[in-house]
Amino acid sequence: MKFTEEHEWLKPEGDEVIVGITEHAASELGDIVFVELPEVGATVAKDDEIVVIESVKAASDIMAPVDGEITAVNEAIVDEPGKVNEDPMGDGWFFRMKPSDPAQLDEFMDEAAYKKFIG
């Protein structure tokens, strides 16, 4: 797995990447009450705002970690946003995407570096 400074995790799987937020991000946000996901088939560029999350504490955006195409979204978290808090690194994933340049993944932290980053 790879991690971003924006507290997203990326799990490569075949030629796709599954994206979600880390446990740290989920706990900082508090209870998540709303999630808006991108459209399947959308082409996105790195740093595009593609997911909106609202919690009891704040609203925030998830940026596209890499350039590519959205191949699937997790409709379960739209219906039950609390799943993100319950299992942010598993069932609370946000979307899958096919990176147009898989080498972009090399820019991100591994788990040890991320743990050091969040201190």
CATH number of the domain residue 76 falls in: 2.40.50.100
Strand order in the sheet with 2-3: 2-3, 8-13, 16-21, 95-99, 68-73, 43-44
Number of separate domains in the chain: 1
Domain annotation covers residue 69? yes
Model confidence, pTM = 0.94
Average predicted confidence (pLDDT) for the chain: 96
- pLDDT band at residue 28, thresholds of 50, 70 and 90? very high
Domain span at residue 73?
2-102
Q: Give the Cβ contact number of residue 19 at 10 Å.
A: 24
| Domain assignment present for 94 | yes
Strands (E), the chain: 2-3, 8-13, 16-21, 32-36, 43-44, 49-55, 59-63, 68-73, 95-99
pLDDT in tens, 102-118: 999 999 999 999 999 99
For 37-64, how does the pLDDT look when each residue is reduced to its tens digit (9 = 90+)?
Answer: 999 999 999 999 999 999 998 899 999 9
- Rounded CA-CA distance 22/89 in Å is 6
29 falls within a domain = yes
